[in-house]
Amino acid sequence: MKRSLFTVLTFVRINTKRFFRDRLALFFTIGFPLIFLFVFGGLNSGSGNVSFNVAVINNSKSDFSKTFTSQLTASKILKVNKDVTTLDAAKEKMTRSELDAVIELPANFGDITAGTTYPSGQANVIYTQNNQQSATALTSILDTEFKAINGKFVTNVTPFTVTSQQLNERSLSPFDYTFAGLLGFAIIGMGIFGPVNVFPELKKMGILRRLSTTPLKVWQYFLSTMIGQAVIGLLSLGIMFVVAIAVFHLQVVGNWLELALFIVLGIVTILGIGLALGGWAKNERQAAPLTNIIVFPMMFLSGTFFPRYLMPDWLQNISAFLPLTPIIDGIRLIATEGKHLIDLLPQIGLIGAWLVIIYFIAFRVFRWE
């Protein structure tokens, strides 16, 4: 038994050294997921702050219109394009989707009419057909602003009012969903594409054929690969966590040890797919088509790049049984909702079932040459 474990640990060291000497493997295992993290993190980290790209066309010369325009420019909700000064220029930019809408202040906006002591006017929101939702939201924002201004000039009776109440609970942000999915994408990269690229190359070079003439068993080779990939995977995903916390302010509320154990379980499970594909294929031409058939459905249906709740119910029910889905869901539940492993028995059970099926197939189809 000691000799078998010594053999396993020896191959763990060999595979780990080979990985760190391979610059291409380092890039696709560590660098490539980080690129996706910055891209999708940048798209989703600020999505909670609603803003509109608008132009303000002030046709009035009143002091009130000038003050009101300055307030709009200073608003955090509105991003006013100061270079647009005419309606024609604004229309041109709206047709290219560079502006969401135009706020036009007519010539009499802010004037004090006869018989009154306060300014008045009506602002126009101009928009295109494909920006109706933005225009509706923008109109509502301006209506709220005008109600606050009107209250300073005229006393209004308000029989009905509304108030808000904040719950002492934290809801998931879009980045929380995105980050867990990106971890799943990284696990696919190291678990499937790694063995699929390496095994056919080793067969072509005759290395695996020479190993088959030694006392090395298939289970020893698989176990050494599993341990090595788990260590490399924890390092790669750990870097992603550091970047997400430092740059995108991710809050990990779950237990780190439970999270690490669950991630290792996920890496080992997905690695079995890579071992099965790489161990079966004689060359890259055999492995590539089957790999794409397996990887792409998981990549797009397991919540890797967008939440599964956006899918139709029937598609959610189907995608729930994909191997990667419980892994991404479990990482999200532990990291962002503070769940424990005991709470993830459905996900762990499904992963365990796939683990048995995948490695049964991997052992049956593995070929040394």
| pLDDT tens per residue across span 177-215 | 788 888 888 898 888 877 777 777 777 777 777 877 777
Phi, psi of 51 (to 5 degrees): -145, 160
In a 10 Å sphere around its CB, with 0-12 CB exposed, 13-18 middle and 19+ buried, how is residue 284 labelled?
middle
203: its two tokens = 């067969």
Q: Mapping DSSP to helix (H, G, I), strand (E, B) and coil, where does residue 158 land?
A: coil
User: Is the pTM higher than 0.75?
Assistant: no
- Residue 281 makes CB contacts below 8 A (sequence gap 6+) with 196, 199, 200, 287, 290
β-pairing verdict for 101-105 and 52-58: parallel
Contact (CB, 8 A) for 101 and 135 = yes
CATH 3.40.1710.10 domain residues, the chain: 52-153
β-pairing verdict for 101-105 and 124-126: antiparallel
- Where is 19: in which H helix or E strand? helix 2-21
Specify the CATH number of the domain 52-153: 3.40.1710.10
- At residue 164, the pLDDT reads 52
137: its two tokens = 């939201």
What gap in Å lies between CA 196 and CA 270, rounded to an integer?
12
Strands, E assignment, the chain? 52-58, 78-80, 101-105, 111-112, 119-120, 124-126
Per-residue pLDDT of 100-156, as tens digits, reads 888 888 888 888 877 777 888 888 888 887 778 778 888 888 888 888 777 777 766
- Residue 325 makes CB contacts below 8 A (sequence gap 6+) with 298, 301, 302, 303, 308, 319
What gap in Å lies between CA 199 and CA 366, rounded to an integer?
10
- At residue 27, the pLDDT reads 74
In a 10 Å sphere around its CB, with 0-12 CB exposed, 13-18 middle and 19+ buried, how is residue 302 labelled?
buried
Per-residue pLDDT of 35-55, as tens digits, reads 878 887 776 655 455 678 888
Per-residue pLDDT of 267-296, as tens digits, reads 999 988 988 888 887 777 777 788 888 888
